[in-house]
Amino acid sequence: MSFAVWVSLLAACVVISLTPGAGAINTMSNALAQGWRRSVWGVIGQQVALVVHLVIVAAGVGLLVASSPLLFNLIRYAGAAYLVYLGVRLILVRTDAAERDDAELEGIPESAWSMARRGFWVNLLNPKAIVFFLAFMPQFIRLDQPQFPQYAIFLATCISVDVIVMWGVFATAARQFRRATRTPRGRKALNSTFGSLFIAVAALLVFVH
């Protein structure tokens, strides 16, 4: 991969990562609930899903998903259902100070595994990501050159940019609202907001083709 092609890839990855979606919402929600540093576990989970997407496309399975309406819709509806589940669960989180002690008011720490697992499923259950990479990846992979180094550079660039954008931009932006989580009313408002955003993204996944 030439330097000029890599710069084009880098620019494309930045634009793609900065586009708000379920991953960005999940990252901001984690940063508000668990803090900026711990939100990285959700970002890591999202990157593992990204690796799976790229492997699927590189192996040719992505073409099967793209060409099979049934398989595509099964994954699409499963992803939407999962986002709705996350949204409803977030909206229904109890924040009544009268029923929580001081330690709980500071937020119950979620395990790193739980955050990573949720990030993984949020990204994985998005068939449009597979279709997108199916159309996007061939623009930067030369078939007349060794494949493995090109895929390695492609993967490393996509993951590096996404981690920087998710953790450095979206999670950092969420820190501005951290003060609101100090009160039950503030936590309830933010939980409802991000829960509604998850449901809105689910609706887009189902109804926007």
**How many structural domains compose the chain?**
1
Domain holding 183, by residue range, is 23-207
CB 166 within 8 A of CB 34: no
Would 3 be classed as within a structural domain? no
Which residue's entry shows tokens 């083709």? 209
Q: Which of 96, 114, 149 is nearest to 42 (CA)?
A: 114
For 179, counting Cβ atoms within 10 Å of its Cβ (0-12 exposed, 13-18 middle, 19+ buried), the class is: exposed
d(CA 140, CA 82): 32
Share of the chain above pLDDT 70, in %: 85
Would 38 be classed as within a structural domain? yes
Would 2 be classed as within a structural domain? no
Average pLDDT of the chain to the nearest whole number? 80
Would 57 be classed as within a structural domain? yes
Between 170 and 92, the higher pLDDT residue: 170
The predicted structure's pLDDT at residue 95: 57
For residues 84-107, give the mean pLDDT: 60
One-letter identity of residue 172: T
Would 126 be classed as within a structural domain? yes
The predicted structure's pLDDT at residue 151: 87
Between 157 and 85, the higher pLDDT residue: 157
Count CB-CB contacts under 10 A for residue 50: 21
The predicted structure's pLDDT at residue 115: 93
Min mean pLDDT across 31-40, 64-73, 143-152 is at 64-73
For residues 135-159, give the mean pLDDT: 83
Q: Which of 60-64, 65-69, 148-152 has the highest mean pLDDT?
A: 148-152
Would 8 be classed as within a structural domain? no
